[in-house]
Amino acid sequence: MVAKVVATAFGGPEVLAVIDEEVGEPSAGQVLLEVRAAGTNPIDYKLYSGARGKDPSSLPMSLGLEASGVVLAVGDDAHGPAGAVQVGDEVIVFPAAGSYAERVIVAASSVVPKPPTLSFEEGAGLMLAGTTAVHALRAVGVTGGETLVLHGASGGVGQLAVQLAVAQGVRVIGTASESAFAELRRLGAEPVLYGAGLVERIRELAPDGLDAAIDSVGTDEAIDTSLELVADRRRIATLANTPRGLEVGIQALGSAPGADPGWEIRSQARLELVRLAEKGLIEVTVAATYPLAQAAEAHRQLAAGHTHGKIILIP
Ligand SMILES: NC(=O)c1ccc[n+]([C@@H]2O[C@H](COP(=O)([O-])OP(=O)(O)OC[C@H]3O[C@@H](n4cnc5c(N)ncnc54)[C@H](OP(=O)(O)O)[C@@H]3O)[C@@H](O)[C@H]2O)c1
């Protein structure tokens, strides 16, 4: 029996519970992972909040979409994007439903090698945010020499998007609270305070205008500012407010109804992220770690919306 975290009802973090479950053996094309670290993401709490429907048959709801760990067993034909998966491999798994657990069975197609330069905690936080960042940058088509405004630059997705864009020679103006400014400068972005007067502050930094914008926070301010400063609506993308994005004719990216999930781009981005992390060209900031049993506490911190980096659960 292994411990896993589930949502027992729809609601806030108080509905989370740790249960014991039989895991079994991996079938063909599957891998059994000993989870060393599980990444948390806002979608994890949004799914049991009821905001995306309250289908009772989805309860108790397994949680988590990404993790890192060590391969304990493999089924026949266990091949991932980087080749055959072997017992003992240190890996990152994404997508990996139910990864808030001591052990999890995942499709071999979700398994990529963990670069030795990344800790298990860093590896567990790389993929969901990293593949989202790759998708968003690709969607707005930003290239070297251009200027991008990135709303929510200090978050899990934001920090990876900053690094990926800067590595391509893009000038990044990133909105954040002042407590994140030093870190954003270190990553190569120019921070700017969100809130009243944002348009003017960005104009001061970029009097010649902006080429593209990515909203990784979902506020009306982020979308309205982008609409005002970027002439071409196809070069604005929201990751966090699909209804408003569709209404105003900008790109909406992700798993919400009506948005572009970008599965192909995200799936292919995983090995590139591994390569960049291995070379030290991108890093993952671990903002906090919690024992698995304190997943509710982790979600309270995450839902407060001011995390600078990734919150990781340790089984
Ligand atoms: N569509 C997709 O595929 C996809 C994928 C991943 C995430 N998302 C969504 O994207 C959003 C960000 O995800 P995440 O994992 O990066 O979350 P996160 O790690 O919790 O980061 C959120 C960041 O937003 C900043 N922030 C809060 N209020 C802000 C405001 N008014 N203006 C600008 N920044 C503000 C916070 O920094 P400060 O402390 O500096 O305020 C915090 O660092 C979430 O809504 C998530 O659900 C969508």
> Does residue 80's CB lie within 6 angstroms of at least one atom of ligand 1?
no
Domain 2-126+284-314 and domain 130-252 have a common topology: no
> Does residue 175's CB lie within 6 angstroms of at least one atom of ligand 1?
yes
> Does residue 180's CB lie within 6 angstroms of at least one atom of ligand 1?
yes
**253 CA closest ligand 1 atom index:** 1
**Pure H helices in the chain:** 42-49, 120-124, 127-140, 156-167, 181-187, 198-205, 220-229, 242-248, 263-278, 295-303
> Does residue 217's CB lie within 6 angstroms of at least one atom of ligand 1?
yes
User: Cα-flanking dihedrals φ and ψ of residue 157, to 5°?
Assistant: -70, -45
Fold type of domain 2-126+284-314:
Quinone Oxidoreductase; Chain A, domain 1 (3.90.180)
**242 CA closest ligand 1 atom index:** 1
pLDDT tens digits, one per residue of 216-246 = 999 999 999 999 999 999 999 999 999 999 9
- Say if residue 52's pLDDT is above 90: no
pLDDT tens digits, one per residue of 54-87 = 999 999 999 999 999 999 999 999 999 999 999 9
Fold type of domain 130-252:
Rossmann fold (3.40.50)
Each domain of the chain, given as residue ranges in start order, spans 2-126+284-314, 130-252
Quick one: which of 162, 138, 167 has its CA closest to 149? 162
Asked if 39 contacts 66 with a C-beta cutoff of 8 angstroms, the reply is: yes
Q: How confident is the model at residue 150 (pLDDT cuts 50, 70, 90)?
A: very high
